[in-house]
Structure 1
Amino acid sequence: MKLSDLLIYDYIIIQCHDNPDGDSISSGYALYEYFKNKDKNVRLVYGGRFRITKPNLIKMIEELNIPIEYVDELIVGDNEVLITVDCQYGAGNVKRFPAKNIAIIDHHQQEIYDVTMTEIKPYLGSCATVVWQMLLDEGFDVNQYKNVATALYYGLFTDTNSFVEIYHPLDKDLQDHVEYDINLIRKLKNANFTLRDIEIAGMALIRYSYIDDYRCAIFKAHPCDPNILGFISDLALQVDVIDTCVVYNETNVGVYFSVRSCIREVMASEMAAFLAEGIGSGGGNMDKAGGFIHEEKFDRQYPGMNKDGYLHNRIKAYFDSFDIIYHNNNNLDIERMVLYKKKNLTLGFVPVAEVFKEGTPLLVRSIKGDIETVSSPDTYFMIGITGEVYPISKEKFSKSYKVIDGPFQLKNVEYFPKVKNRKTGQTIDLRAYVKACISTKEIFVYAQPLAKNTKVFTKWDSSKYMSGKVNDYIAIRQDDIEDVYIIENSIFNATYQRIS
């Protein structure tokens, strides 16, 4: 769905979820300004049992002049459209007002399927990001409206636990590209907690359970803003016998939780995703992450189980679910593995010096994450079949690849790689510069499918692991038995062929 699809309506009502947070308010406000700019009659509303009382949200609304209204009743005419933002019409966290024409803009897992006009992106960290991308698609530059830019920035900030739980490149793009009011953001950051929040944190910290075998602690908090969960978990991780921790609370729509880790064998983002697998969503980075477990999905999949019991069992299952392989002590028996040859696929490459001056500090952003490097005539960027990017020296490129005619195209990828000049902030889409190449030499690996989830610490990065799931492949370079790595199942089948 595009925002321009909704311009057929002259009367537009934008509804945030009940007890709206910064993400919902900011997303609704950005839509409000877009439709006002198109000369539409627009209202921004919310319902439910509670009015907005959090000090940071009140300050946000006042400082940015956000025209949000609390409503007990709402009449939506047959020639009007109701847009629910950061929520889904008919779900448990948003008051249902009768309406004929309905649209949904959200970033949570889809739970409502009988509404045709939807834009739902559950892989994004905030609804603000969904709205920002939709505005970009319509040519609406939020940086021309500083209040809108500031609101969207703060919406992403609050819904990703102060940017801790950002993991999708589009979220990072929003964080980097909007021109926000830094002084107001500073004020809002320092108006986040109430005395009640501090009381909630204190009560949670004195009531905990501890899994000794894994040095993992679990804390339950009273209902509170998700940022409070992160605050509690940051404090808990400073305890000498705690390597990982989970802090959670229960609401009427589900469980919000925060995860922390201070050991390299556990990425907080992976643990969060495991806890919510099949019943919610989770993500973040190596040290800090968070997630949400959907109430209805939990009840269907685990009838009669309480949340505390589920989390205990799931945490134990997580730690029992994987093996760990270190590249310099891998104990892999290549005699039992199969020899494969890498297929000669068309890859993309970009000579960095053709895009940026030598010495320019760069941030390369792809679906697999960010890489920081410096522009050099000796550096090329290689682009793989899923949009992943990795640097390679010009010398190694010349020995390993040859340039071919024709364009390099990626099909059905969520995100095409971009490069940001870290000095100026300018961002370049690599589509305009990428060229095609194929390998000039054969690469052989020993490989076998994984029978158990596995973490591999590779020779090129001993601080964090590659994570493989059952039926992904563990591979060893034939010419270097310490070069051990994981290859996703779909990528392996597309890029390697069996020799023996």
Structure 2
Amino acid sequence: MKLKNLLEYQDIVIQCHDNPDADTVASAFGVYRYLRAHNKKPRIVYSGSLQITKSNLILMIKELEIPIEHVKELNNPEMLVTVDCQYGEGNVTLFPARNIAIIDHHEYCGASSVMKEIRTFYASCATVVYVMLTNENFPINSDIKLATALYYGLYMDSNCFREMKHPLDMDLIEDLKVDEDLMERLKNTNFTLDELEIAGTALLRYIYDKTKRFAIVRSNPCDPNIMGLISDLVLQVDCIDCCVVYCEMDGNIKLSVRSCLRVAKANEIANYLTEGIGNGGGNHKKAGGFIKGKKFYQQYQSVGIENYLMNRFSDYFSSYDVIDTNKDELDVQYMQMYIKNSLPFGYVKTTNMEVEGTELIIRTLEGDVTVCASDDLYIMIGVGGEVYPVSEEILYQGYILEEEPFYIEMEYTPKAKNRYTGKSKDLLKYAKRCISTGQSIIYAKQLKKTTKVFSKWNYENYMLGKPNDYIACRYDDHQDIYIINQSVFHTRYRKIDTILV
């Protein structure tokens, strides 16, 4: 769905979910501003038994002049757009409408809809609207109130930017020019005395696994930022390395996850806890998750949420192996030899983007990797969109370099961000084409168990291999270990029995 698809309608209503939060209000405002710029006269509404009373939302709506109305009925609008929610679900009042559109970042519920734009990997619906506006070349930064609303929507739904899921969430933060004074005021009107009491009560009731050093904490229904505050406090306990705070709200379960372990990323834990029944995301230290109540109770009703989280958390720590390339090497005795096929790749010399010694954050769909620009370091871009660093020696050994530009269609265009200036550059604008020589030989085998590989290029972050992916090492260096996704392995490599001279 594109925002311009809405322009064929006249009577348009944008509906937030009941008991609105900042994200749904911001998302509605983004759609509203777009439609107003195209001479439409939409309305922003919400319903339910509770009207907006939270001080931060009242301040947001007043200062950004968001024309939101509380309604009990609608007169069958020509187009009803639900934002940060899905038509027919329990958290949004059901109104009749001649046409329906859905803009959301939660798991799709299968509601009947002519149009929908659902991006479950984004941390907020505000990010979905930001991307839709950007795709329409809408000048967001010429409207500081709109930019501030979208920024604050993501801020609140990602627990103060701690639980972001996708590089486009980070792009929103860096791209938008906001009212900094208002943002400071909004940040400092988040909590009430009642919410402070909720946090204190939650800290009194916890379950602790002494062996694996993790804790489970139940909270009463509250704002996600209160859950984040509770989980931040729990992680500061000297005997706790990971924790999850959960609360049941509107028939669903929300999670706030924290980790201080290098081998156990918070976002990975969140995904593991919600696998098959919801979704999760964030970064290696802080993450959030959402469990669909209906799915959970269908599968685990006899277990209960607390026991489920305890058992699942415990299982997580037994679910993977760890390989550290600084001290481990692969035993290739039972591994098969493969040779790389002749395929086009992209390559970027890091010092063509920044001067030698500059720290660069390479932002990709898989996450951020930090490297230091040097004449000896290149960034490779594979035909599957994967991005990884290589030395000049390896590049010249395994590839024929060309001068023509390299381009592929990618879900997210990788960027190189200067860590000091904060400025980002698209890698594809600097990428040139190279062809693998077909002389690069590796040992590889399929994984039977999830494996985390800490490489010499990125010792703080691991490559994640799932069952049926391939773990590999160079033929002449058994410590140069890496993961190859099963979906691309056989297009890039072919089996050999002996080395051809």
TM score, norm. by length of structure 2: 0.93
CA distance in 1, matches of 2:371, 2:211: 40
1:326 aligns with 2:324: yes
Could you tell me which residue of structure 2 aligns to residue 95 of structure 1? 93
Return 172-181 or 290-299, whichever deviates more: 290-299
1:464 aligns with 2:458: no
**1:279-298 matched pairs, under 5 angstroms:** 279-298=277-296
CA distance in 1, matches of 2:317, 2:198: 29
Could you tell me which residue of structure 2 aligns to residue 416 of structure 1? 413
CA distance in 1, matches of 2:162, 2:170: 11
* Superposed CA offset, 1:209-238 (max 9, x none): 111221111000000011111111110111
The correspondence for 1:251, drawn from 249, 254, 274, is 249
User: What is the Cα deviation at residue 395 of structure 1?
Assistant: 5.8
- Secondary structure (helix, strand or coil) at the match of 1:451 reads coil
Q: Which amino acid aligns with 2:270?
A: A
Mark the CA change 1:93 to 1:340 in structure 2 (over 3 Å): closer, same or farther. same
Could you tell me which residue of structure 1 aligns to residue 300 of structure 2? 302
The correspondence for 1:122, drawn from 105, 120, 123, is 120
Return 474-483 or 401-410, whichever deviates more: 401-410
- Secondary structure (helix, strand or coil) at the match of 2:42 reads strand
CA distance in 2, matches of 1:243, 1:30: 39
1:486 aligns with 2:483: yes
Could you tell me which residue of structure 1 aligns to residue 179 of structure 2? 181
Mark the CA change 1:365 to 1:454 in structure 2 (over 3 Å): closer, same or farther. closer
CA distance in 2, matches of 1:419, 1:458: 20
CA distance in 2, matches of 1:356, 1:328: 28
Return 340-349 or 188-197, whichever deviates more: 340-349
Could you tell me which residue of structure 1 aligns to residue 64 of structure 2? 64
Return 17-26 or 350-359, whichever deviates more: 350-359
Could you tell me which residue of structure 2 aligns to residue 154 of structure 1? 152
Could you tell me which residue of structure 1 aligns to residue 385 of structure 2? 387
Could you tell me which residue of structure 2 aligns to residue 230 of structure 1? 228
* Superposed CA offset, 1:299-330 (max 9, x none): 23324331112111211221221222333554
* Superposed CA offset, 1:439-474 (max 9, x none): 346222222111112222333333332222111122
Q: Which amino acid aligns with 1:233?
A: S
Q: Which amino acid aligns with 2:441?
A: F
Q: Which amino acid aligns with 1:462?
A: Y
Alignment check: 8 A CA contact 1:90 1:112 kept: no
Alignment check: 8 A CA contact 1:91 1:112 kept: no
CA distance in 1, matches of 2:138, 2:284: 35
Mark the CA change 1:355 to 1:324 in structure 2 (over 3 Å): closer, same or farther. closer
Could you tell me which residue of structure 2 aligns to residue 434 of structure 1? 431
The correspondence for 1:145, drawn from 139, 143, 146, is 143
Alignment check: 8 A CA contact 2:400 2:434 kept: yes
Return 173-182 or 447-456, whichever deviates more: 447-456
Alignment check: 8 A CA contact 2:99 2:114 kept: no
Alignment check: 8 A CA contact 1:88 1:112 kept: no
User: What is the Cα deviation at residue 21 of structure 1?
Assistant: 1.0
Could you tell me which residue of structure 1 aligns to residue 33 of structure 2? 33
**1:180-199 matched pairs, under 5 angstroms:** 180-199=178-197
- Secondary structure (helix, strand or coil) at the match of 1:214 reads coil
Q: Which amino acid aligns with 2:95?
A: F
User: What is the Cα deviation at residue 369 of structure 1?
Assistant: 2.1
Q: Which amino acid aligns with 2:414?
A: P
Q: Which amino acid aligns with 1:475?
A: A
Could you tell me which residue of structure 2 aligns to residue 15 of structure 1? 15
* Superposed CA offset, 1:110-150 (max 9, x none): 00341121111111111111111111121211100000000
1:475 aligns with 2:472: yes
CA distance in 1, matches of 2:342, 2:382: 12
CA distance in 2, matches of 1:393, 1:204: 50
Return 105-114 or 370-379, whichever deviates more: 370-379
Alignment check: 8 A CA contact 1:167 1:369 kept: no
Return 475-484 or 54-63, whichever deviates more: 475-484
- Secondary structure (helix, strand or coil) at the match of 1:323 reads strand
CA distance in 2, matches of 1:332, 1:372: 25
- Secondary structure (helix, strand or coil) at the match of 1:437 reads strand
- Secondary structure (helix, strand or coil) at the match of 1:464 reads coil
Q: Which amino acid aligns with 1:91?
A: E
Q: Aligned-residue CA RMSD in angstroms?
A: 2.2
User: What is the Cα deviation at residue 406 of structure 1?
Assistant: 5.9
- Secondary structure (helix, strand or coil) at the match of 1:410 reads coil
Could you tell me which residue of structure 1 aligns to residue 262 of structure 2? 264
In percent, how many aligned pairs have the same letter?
51
CA distance in 2, matches of 1:144, 1:424: 23
- Secondary structure (helix, strand or coil) at the match of 1:258 reads strand
CA distance in 2, matches of 1:347, 1:455: 25
- Flag structure 2 segments of 5+ consecutive residues without an equivalent: none
Could you tell me which residue of structure 2 aligns to residue 338 of structure 1? 336
CA distance in 2, matches of 1:142, 1:135: 7
Could you tell me which residue of structure 2 aligns to residue 311 of structure 1? 309
- Flag structure 1 segments of 5+ consecutive residues without an equivalent: none
* Superposed CA offset, 1:65-119 (max 9, x none): 1111111111123xx2110001111111111111111110111110034112111
**1:75-86 matched pairs, under 5 angstroms:** 75-77=75-77, 80-86=78-84
Could you tell me which residue of structure 2 aligns to residue 74 of structure 1? 74
CA distance in 2, matches of 1:264, 1:351: 29
Could you tell me which residue of structure 2 aligns to residue 240 of structure 1? 238
Alignment check: 8 A CA contact 2:141 2:147 kept: yes
Q: Which amino acid aligns with 1:481?
A: H
CA distance in 2, matches of 1:493, 1:93: 46
Return 215-224 or 423-432, whichever deviates more: 423-432
CA distance in 1, matches of 2:41, 2:430: 43
TM score, norm. by length of structure 1: 0.93
- Secondary structure (helix, strand or coil) at the match of 2:380 reads strand
Q: Which amino acid aligns with 1:103?
A: A
CA distance in 2, matches of 1:397, 1:444: 14
Mark the CA change 1:217 to 1:343 in structure 2 (over 3 Å): closer, same or farther. same
CA distance in 1, matches of 2:455, 2:377: 22
Q: Which amino acid aligns with 2:491?
A: A
**1:341-380 matched pairs, under 5 angstroms:** 341-352=339-350, 354=352, 362-373=360-371, 379-380=377-378
